[in-house]
């Protein structure tokens, strides 16, 4: 049942509920939420007692399943961890990041901006910069460099100079990225 729920197979979940005795674990709702299968989550809430864990909201956020997150907020008590906003940011889900910022207290870590930089999610980075205090680490510039995103690397250099390690960034740069290498060497 856990696997069927995670894949959104509501008919299979219903059949297993009535025809088998094994039941499920909290992984059923966690998995369904992670994949945005809100109808399965609702059915499990109504017909099963296993519930879910904080992983339901954390993993739903990673997938950008905002309606599922909102439902969990209203109907469940487990909440989430900083991984929710960190992973939503890493995957570029700006509306999810914004909602978590406005409705949850867990916040995020520097990983949110570090990973958003690597994913090229500049709008998410700008939101975090304007609304959060966690900032980033040197990994943000390194991740953006590996992703060949000069605009983000330049922005990080301008806004987080204390976290910008030119030598690390040069080491991470693709030698075939002429514009990146030209700009990095101009910093000397």
At residue 112, the pLDDT reads 99
Which structural domain, as residue segments, surrounds residue 2? 1-80
At residue 37, the pLDDT reads 99
At residue 93, the pLDDT reads 99
Q: Which of 60, 80, 100 is the last residue of a domain?
A: 80
Does residue 98 sit in the same domain as residue 132? Answer: yes
At residue 126, the pLDDT reads 99
The answer, as to whether pTM is greater than 0.85, is yes
Q: Which of 80, 110, 137 is the last residue of a domain?
A: 80
At residue 176, the pLDDT reads 87
Contacts of 72 (CB under 8 A, 6+ apart): 33, 41, 52, 56, 57, 60, 78
The SS3 of residue 98 is helix
Local mean pLDDT, 10-residue blocks, the chain (188 residues): 98 96 96 99 98 99 99 98 99 99 98 99 99 98 96 98 91 89 90
At residue 49, the pLDDT reads 97
Does residue 76 sit in the same domain as residue 116? Answer: no
Q: How many domains does the chain have?
A: 2
Does residue 69 sit in the same domain as residue 118? Answer: no
At residue 135, the pLDDT reads 98
């Amino acid at each position: 049942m856990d696997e069927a729920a995670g894949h959104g197979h509501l008919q299979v979940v219903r059949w297993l509920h009535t025809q088998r005795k094994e039941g499920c674990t909290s992984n059923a709702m966690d998995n369904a939420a992670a994949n945005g299968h809100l109808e399965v989550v609702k059915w499990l809430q109504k017909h099963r007692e296993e519930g879910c864990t904080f992983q339901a909201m954390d993993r739903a956020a990673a997938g950008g399943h905002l309606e599922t997150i909102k439902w969990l907020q209203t109907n469940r008590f487990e909440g989430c961890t900083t991984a929710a906003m960190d992973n939503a940011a890493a995957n570029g889900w700006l509306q999810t990041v914004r909602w978590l910022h406005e409705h949850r207290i867990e916040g995020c870590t520097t990983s949110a901006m570090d990973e958003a930089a690597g994913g090229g999610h500049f709008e998410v980075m700008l939101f975090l910069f304007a609304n959060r205090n966690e900032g980033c680490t040197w990994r943000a510039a390194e991740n953006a460099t590996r992703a060949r995103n000069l605009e983000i690397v330049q922005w990080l250099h301008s806004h987080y100079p204390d976290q910008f390690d030119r030598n690390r960034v040069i080491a991470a740069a693709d030698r075939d990225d002429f514009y990146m290498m030209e700009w990095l060497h101009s910093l000397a």
